[in-house]
Structure 1
Amino acid sequence: MNEPLQQGAANVVQVQSMAKAGRRPRLGEQERFMLFLIAPAAVFLLLFQVLPIVIGANASFRDWSLNNPQKTWIGLSHYVAVLTDSTFLTVVLPNTFVFMAGTVVLSLLTGLGLALALNRSFAGRRIVQTTLMLPLMVAPVIAAIMVRWMFNDQFGIVNVVIEALGFESQPWLTQRWTAFAIILLTDVWLWSPWFALLLLAGLQSLPREPFEAALIDAASPWRIFWHLTLPMLRPVILVCIVIRSIDAFRTFDIVWTLTGGGPARQTELFSLYAYQLAFTFLNFGRGSAAAIIGGIIILCVGLSLYRLLDRLGASEVKS
């Protein structure tokens, strides 16, 4: 009888000691080494990402004018002013969403076509791949400067060619929709190789057995693409669309260099709107409020896109 009692008491003591040890966990050498490795990145993220967001969020609730920084607490006044601004609602947001949808769709289609072409074996494929990747090596500001000179209404090469063909030259960058189209096409030219690179990597990672079986069954190239290639490539396409949509929403450098938001703010996108509020009109509080609103919008858009595309993919797989 004493042995079971003693054994039970020993088990209780052991459980209590383990519970006490669990309250005061000690990091092993491996855990301390891992924390040491990630500490610089964590400090960098805290100083240059989290801290500026906190400062900007604090400024959005204050009367923070850069020429007279009183920093008086005014609550949601800046948010109300931005959300009731007719320029923001009727020009900036429509321009931003049209630009985002246009550049993502056109870049995706162009990149997918390039990836499908480059996935085949032909002479000089490596040279073609390298040539097509050149836009990725060009800074967006440099590309925008080149395009601006090309479409200059007085001595641009585009108008020179048009006049040589017997047509009248056009003021490309002084009209809303032509200027907007030039901004869009410039962005598509810059980002299509990015889509092509990721989609080509996805194509080369696909298993060959389903395609060989489809060829044995004499399936047409279109059916192979629609029923095999596209569904198997959907995860890569989904990631590309979400990442590029978020990045397109905050496009600034191309618009600033090509048109500066003109003519008459008609090509202004969201990033340019927030920048002008903060650094042109020197209203740092309202510019910060606009930036916070934009962050919330793009967060909602990114989550909605991810869920929508994921559901579409799941429904097609079930069918």
Structure 2
Amino acid sequence: MRAVSAREKRRRLAGYSLIAPAVLILIITFAVPLLYSFIISISDSNAIVANKFELVGLKNYISVLQNSKFQSALFHTCFFVITTIILEFIIGFIVALLLYRETAGSKFFKLIFAVPLMVAPVVSGLQWRWLFADQYGIINHLLSKIGIEAPLWFTTAQTSWVTIIVANLWLAAPFVILVLLAGLGGLSEEMNEAAEIDGANKWQVFRSIILPQLKPTILIILVIRLTDAFRIYDLIYILTGGGPGGKTEVLSTYIYKRIFTDWDFGRGSAASFIVMVIICLLSLLCSKLMSEKEE
């Protein structure tokens, strides 16, 4: 028994020694900055600028939650997340259902849909800003060719949101399409064929057979896209900068401006922790839904 016990201890020690470097790097790169940021979030901003800490408790958190700009940014973020995810799923399902059967050109289109995933959001933002440009943008040029008066895209809140959502769909919809294609590829064709033989139309097959089998895939997409959409920053910063008049300000741009423009480190850090809590709660909700579906 002693020999077995000693061998087990050596095995555990070897395992701990192997994971120790990774754990140490994780602590240094994640846990320490997170703790430091939390201390800043409960400290007075003026004292931080003076290179010292004066703890103020939850004052910064209360101030952020009561701030009208934060509330507007939260509303804009929720609007963006809901709108873009609904559109991503609509586009994703339509395209995936068209491509999941091996037809002529389907492999080519699958390759094309993978291209936006290789493009950095900043590059995509610059690309769409040029496309929507008032004087030399190709979109306005094409609209004028067919007799439509092109709007000044970045001067009103409505048209600004159109540019943001279109640019984001170009980046994110391919991910949804490809994951749905992977999910569709694992479905049984026998059930679909049996339903069609029994007289079910395409909509009934999709609603009653395909969609229930795709629920785990949909929930995985939902978790990833929710967390990603909630922290959108690059596209909005490049396209509108939160304008006009703060009408496209989201939580990420709000936090950036509080910290790096106003030097309000305390409230900026508090806002970032509030966003982190929101994302964690949404992720936990989706994970719970996933576990219930698996059971």
TM-score w.r.t. the length of structure 2 is: 0.90
2:86 is equivalent to residue 125 of structure 1: no
1:301-312 pair list within 5 angstroms: 301-307=282-288
What is the CA-CA distance between 1:35 and the residue it aligns to?
3.1
Residue of structure 2 in register with 1:202 after alignment? 183
Q: Secondary structure at the match of 1:27?
A: helix
Residue of structure 2 in register with 1:298 after alignment? 279
Residue of structure 2 in register with 1:191 after alignment? 172
Aligned pair count? 294
2:46 is equivalent to residue 69 of structure 1: no
Match of 2:73 among 78, 81, 92: 92
Q: Give me the whole-angstrom Cα distance separating, in 2, the residues matched to 1:99 and 1:225.
A: 28
Deviations 1:94-118 (A, max 9, x none): 1000101111111122112222112
Match of 1:81 among 56, 59, 63: 63
What is the CA-CA distance between 1:134 and the residue it aligns to?
1.0
Residue of structure 1 in register with 2:87 after alignment? 106
Letter in 1 for 2:35: V
Indicate conservation of the 8 Å contact 1:64/1:70, yes or no: no
1:125-274 pair list within 5 angstroms: 125-274=106-255
What is the CA-CA distance between 1:306 and the residue it aligns to?
4.8
Letter in 2 for 1:194: F
Indicate conservation of the 8 Å contact 1:63/1:69, yes or no: no
Residue of structure 2 in register with 1:27 after alignment? 9
Indicate conservation of the 8 Å contact 2:216/2:290, yes or no: no
Q: Give me the whole-angstrom Cα distance separating, in 1, the residues matched to 2:17 and 2:99.
A: 43
Letter in 2 for 1:222: W
Deviations 1:216-256 (A, max 9, x none): 32432222111111000101101111221111111111111
Structure 2, unaligned stretches of length 5 or more?
none
Q: Give me the whole-angstrom Cα distance separating, in 1, the residues matched to 2:180 and 2:102.
A: 16
Letter in 1 for 2:272: A
What is the CA-CA distance between 1:67 and the residue it aligns to?
4.1
Residue of structure 2 in register with 1:5 after alignment? none
Letter in 2 for 1:291: S
Letter in 1 for 2:212: P
Indicate conservation of the 8 Å contact 1:119/1:204, yes or no: yes
What is the CA-CA distance between 1:32 and the residue it aligns to?
3.9
Alpha carbons of 1:281 and 1:124: their partners in 2 closer, same or farther (altered >3 Å)? same
Match of 2:19 among 38, 44, 50: 38
Q: Secondary structure at the match of 2:267?
A: helix
Residue of structure 2 in register with 1:11 after alignment? none
Indicate conservation of the 8 Å contact 2:144/2:150, yes or no: yes
Deviations 1:64-112 (A, max 9, x none): 45643332111112111101111111x2011000101111111122112
What is the CA-CA distance between 1:215 and the residue it aligns to?
3.5
Residue of structure 1 in register with 2:32 after alignment? 51
Letter in 1 for 2:197: I
Residue of structure 2 in register with 1:3 after alignment? none
Q: Give me the whole-angstrom Cα distance separating, in 1, the residues matched to 2:54 and 2:30.
A: 25
What is the CA-CA distance between 1:308 and the residue it aligns to?
6.2
Indicate conservation of the 8 Å contact 1:63/1:70, yes or no: no
TM-score w.r.t. the length of structure 1 is: 0.84
Letter in 1 for 2:56: I
**Once superposed, what is the RMSD of the aligned Cα atoms?**
2.6
Larger mean Cα displacement after TM superposition, 213-222 or 134-143: 213-222
Structure 1, unaligned stretches of length 5 or more?
1-13
What is the CA-CA distance between 1:121 and the residue it aligns to?
1.5
What is the CA-CA distance between 1:309 and the residue it aligns to?
7.7
Indicate conservation of the 8 Å contact 1:79/1:290, yes or no: yes
